[in-house]
Amino acid sequence: MDADTGQPGDALIRWPVSIGRAATLSGISPKMLRHYETLGLLAPVPRTDSNYRQYSLADVHTLRFIRRARDMGFGLDAITELVSLWHNRRRSSASVKRIAQKHLDELAQRIEALQAMQRTMGQLLHLCPGDERPDCPILDDLGQPACTFAAKSR
């Protein structure tokens, strides 16, 4: 484990690295890495005379940050703000907390919606006889005009 980076073997790597190596080290595919670069989430990356990208340790740290934020479910707009705040040593933790609180609120809403769907599916499964007859409350329900799961499951 490298003491400076917290990642196994980072000190043993010869920097800069190619896009494939940066992708492997960060857990992001080369395609997504290029996408994040075009979105401006990553500073412009130097290139060799042969036009190959060369990623620094700092670039890989940023990519790991992005990967972790994606794993936490943050959207690209929030990640863009978070990366900017992460690089800004004069940031306000209140700004970070505001973004995280908004995300937490959105997660709570999504969880409630999923729980409502789960309740509805449970009710429909209970009503379905699951026999050889063609009658099926699940298909009947799916054939009805759309309504919200929250309203339906109450």
Q: What is the mean pLDDT of the chain?
A: 91
**Residue range 87-93: mean pLDDT, rounded:** 95
Please tell me what DSSP assigns to residue 68. Answer: H
Instruction: Check pLDDT > 90 for residue 4.
Output: no
Concatenate the DSSP letters of all residues of 24-58 into one string.
Answer: HHHT--HHHHHHHHHHTSSPPPPB-TT--B-B-HH
N-terminal to C-terminal alpha carbon distance within the chain: 52
Burial class (CB in 10 A: 0-12, 13-18, 19+), 99: middle
Report residue 60 as tokens: 């890989």
Reduced to 3 states, what is the DSSP secondary structure of residue 17?
strand
Between CA 110 and CA 114 the distance in angstroms is 6
Concatenate the DSSP letters of all residues of 93-131 into one string.
Answer: HHHHHHHHHHHHHHHHHHHHHHHHHHHHHHHHHHH---S
Reduced to 3 states, what is the DSSP secondary structure of residue 12?
helix
Between CA 104 and CA 100 the distance in angstroms is 6
Instruction: Check pLDDT > 70 for residue 26.
Output: yes
Between CA 55 and CA 43 the distance in angstroms is 10
| pTM given for the model | 0.81
pLDDT score of 10? 85
